[in-house]
Structure 1
């Protein structure tokens, strides 16, 4: 492995997604990019940062000071790559042949891969891309309209442009390799990227009063609210348990931003006089400290998604010693293995019975929590980003 100092090459980190998300609580891909950016800002003197502007089809250097402003409490190392420009001026990024270009954000939305390919053909940089999943290819019906066209194009462009692709699970790697074989493209070299399960908590000392929940008296599902995440099944189960086992029922808390094609579900939730608001609630734009409190104080957690690239909320739950009843689809079994209670995400009866089991049998719940505390090994974002940097440097041509 390369040393922490790494090669004497400029490491260009794309911050386009983080800048677009500025002022909002990070989730999923945004959190991953911010953790990577913060790591390279703090530990890699030769790192520089850039963003892409589609209006002028250009890449611009972003001053380290502006990047550091995303993480106001974090110290930074002295840069060997100069900080270009003041915060109020734009400096065009001119690629060099020995540059390493790293993108881990929402590239299919930012859509600069064709331009980057042209720059690579001209300059010869080493390009690194993260792929989280290929949901729009394997399940296009569960994606925002238009993704079934632009996302496959991004994946094809990545095959032509990237020298190294990091995948966040073995499931994603298999799906991606299978797709490239199906369309007749040679897959780039692939590596595994690990994701952390720790959550920064300095922003709010005691969120309990604000959230209005009793510790241990709610069940938690953390996920963007959209059809693929299978919230409707959980709503139906809570409706059923309200009729058949109300004495043991506790509120079901959905934590996540409301996504596309959810109007019917949101109507069901708000219009259900039996459940809302005493037995079901939706919380969006939750701060990190609030999210950490919710995990630590939930009775247990749920994750019935139909398909994922990883399943970060499963890891975040297990890292806090909480039982997680989770889907057995795609990558999700990789997260916790036998320490997750895995069920078919289409098995309504199985989910209902397992939920009722943990709602009514406190001893079984406590025993399962003890197994999780004994067996699960949480991964910190810091350790995962150090591993990413080491694997990246080891893959660079000598």
Structure 2
């Protein structure tokens, strides 16, 4: 951990924000808006659940906003749009919002036939400059270069030939640290997703009493902007903190992520007067970081633990869960005869450990081994691992299967039909996969440390990942001893008590309404509202 940056001069002290008179609550849904066409990950699920409860409890007191780096202001996301975004998020490729994104993408392709080679090359040079800054780890260079490239392409996308731009990028991939293919591949949709909602109006910040940040805060200049505006206008700021992974285990973060995260958290440590943490582990990490780095102590009254519940598709599971739509390519999976690992594929999640476990099992048991299913999108720094898996003659393309872009319905089928799950992650803010597995009554073999054991509630099988032999023995027990598997499943169904989403969101909504002056401190019984 690094020493704290100097205290911003215009801020009096940490958590020294007086309660404002009644005003509106601004809930930042920037993360959800940017990723509205993709199956929701944990952070987006949390934003959606918080939005659900604000809409059910007190819609007249809340504004949902999207922060634009270009305009340096919030734009309002209409409540009807938020409801549609939540409702459509669980499906993949079938929602009206996603159809709209498809048409927007097509419009970017077809809007103008005339293309400019000069502007295409210039756009490529700007993105090469951005990627060079990213590879070097120079934060200011990277931020400025990204802004230049994005603004230029946004202003000239109608005459830029994106197919040619992708081909030109091949000339800039000679260095192993500079690769434009990924950024260019998603550039068109990034332009659509970085724009405010159509027809939206700027949020009148003078009417805002308090701001809630429930999503990504560690990118761009939003944290600094919030510090400035909250200091100037006496706005109360609340942060939902998932983890301090880029600081605590920075070796598992992208280059420069730790610096960006720490810089943004710096401004929020001086501007936030309340922190909602998703686990005791995250709360401890926050207090430890503030103490070690020389920030003012964070009182216990300013840190509230709000534990996550399993995703909504788990609670909505009925007796026919096993009949949900299967994933194309999953026909070779026999119900009850495969093992599931749900997670974005990245080094922190420890898929490499899982690969070596299954390599050893395949070498020992051959065709008797249950396939291991990776369900999750590809994250950063995964090319080498996925290439080794695909080329390994022991795995042979049979023993490990990967499904990307899995919808909630498809994920429900995987959970309902797997034999058990594994989760050997190095570090977690909570460990949602463990909670989801147990909620389905499925045994979960998980690692130890951070918050993973909190999620397991003493019901999951926790084994140190340094003890590979113990992992192999437990996997073999559940794989080849049906009685042991059934006994464990029955024990989970009796002992495991999943947290409900109301338990997570109600304290946040109550606190926000009180701090804005919308309610006086009487506990709020949030009514149910069907948004599905």
Q: TM-score, normalised by structure 1?
A: 0.90
Shift of 1:58: 1.3
Change (3 A) 1:134 1:41: same
Q: Which has the higher helix share?
A: 2
Report deviation, 1:394: 5.5
CA contact (8 A) 2:76 2:202 kept: yes
- Report the Cα distance in structure 1 between the residues aligned to 2:256 and 2:79, rounded to whole angstroms: 35
From the superposition, tell whether residues 170 and 379 of structure 1 become closer, same or farther in structure 2 (CA, over 3 Å).
same
Deviates more, 1:188-197 or 1:380-389: 380-389
1:82 equivalent in structure 2:
none
Q: Following superposition of structure 1 onto structure 2, how do residues 102-117 of structure 1 map, counting pairs within 5 Å?
A: 102-117=212-227
Give yes or no for the alignment of 1:324 onto 2:444.
Answer: yes
Displacement of 1:289 in angstroms is 0.6
Instruction: Work out whether residues 248 and 359 of structure 1, in 8 Å CA contact, stay in contact via their aligned partners in 2.
Output: no
- 2:326 aligned to which of 208, 221, 229: 208
CA distance in 2, matches of 1:329, 1:37: 31
Change (3 A) 1:261 1:299: same
2:438–2:492 CA contact under 8 A, matched in 1: yes
Q: Residue in 2 aligned with 1:10?
A: 24
Check 1:187–1:47 CA distance in 2 against 1; reply closer, same or farther (3 A cut).
farther
Q: 1:191 aligns with which of 279, 304, 307?
A: 304
Q: Map 1:1-398; keep pairs closer than 5 Å.
A: 9-45=23-59, 46-72=61-87, 88-96=198-206, 99-188=209-298, 189-200=302-313, 206-208=324-326, 210=328, 211-212=330-331, 213-246=333-366, 248-393=368-513
Instruction: Give how far 1:135 is off.
Output: 0.9
> Corresponding residue for 1:77?
none
CA–CA separation in structure 1 for the residues paired with 2:244 and 2:69: 24
Q: Deviations over 1:86-105 (max 9, x none)?
A: 96334222223761211111
Q: What are the ranges of 5 or more consecutive residues in structure 1 without an aligned counterpart?
A: 1-6, 75-85
CA contact (8 A) 2:327 2:410 kept: no
Alignment check: 8 A CA contact 1:96 1:125 kept: no
Q: For the structure 1 residues 265 and 337, does the alpha-carbon distance in structure 2 shift closer, same or farther, using more than 3 Å as the test?
A: same
* 1:340 shift after superposition: 0.7
Q: Could you say which structure has the greater relative contact order, defined with CA pairs below 8 angstroms and 6 or more residues apart?
A: 2
Structure 2 unaligned blocks of 5 or more: 1-20, 90-195, 521-532
Contact 1:198 1:379 in 2 (8 A): no
CA deviation vs aligned residue, 1:201-223 (integer Å, no higher than 9, x gap) = 88997313743222101000011
TM-aligned CA deviation for residue 279 of structure 1: 1.1
Q: CA deviation at 1:358?
A: 1.2
Distance 1:248 1:387 in 2: 48
The 1:354–1:90 alpha-carbon spacing in structure 2 relative to 1, beyond 3 Å, is: same
| Deviations 1:299-342, CA, capped at 9 Å, x for gaps | 00001000010000100000010000011121100112320100
Following superposition, the deviation at residue 231 of structure 1 comes to 0.7
| Rounded Cα–Cα distance in structure 1 between residues aligned with 2:327 and 2:386 | 25
Cα displacement string for residues 259-286 of structure 1 (whole angstroms, at most 9, x for unaligned residues): 1111111011111233243211111110
Q: Which has the larger radius of gyration?
A: 2
1:176-226 superposed Cα distances (whole Å, 9 cap, x missing partner)? 100100111124411112212143388997313743222101000011101
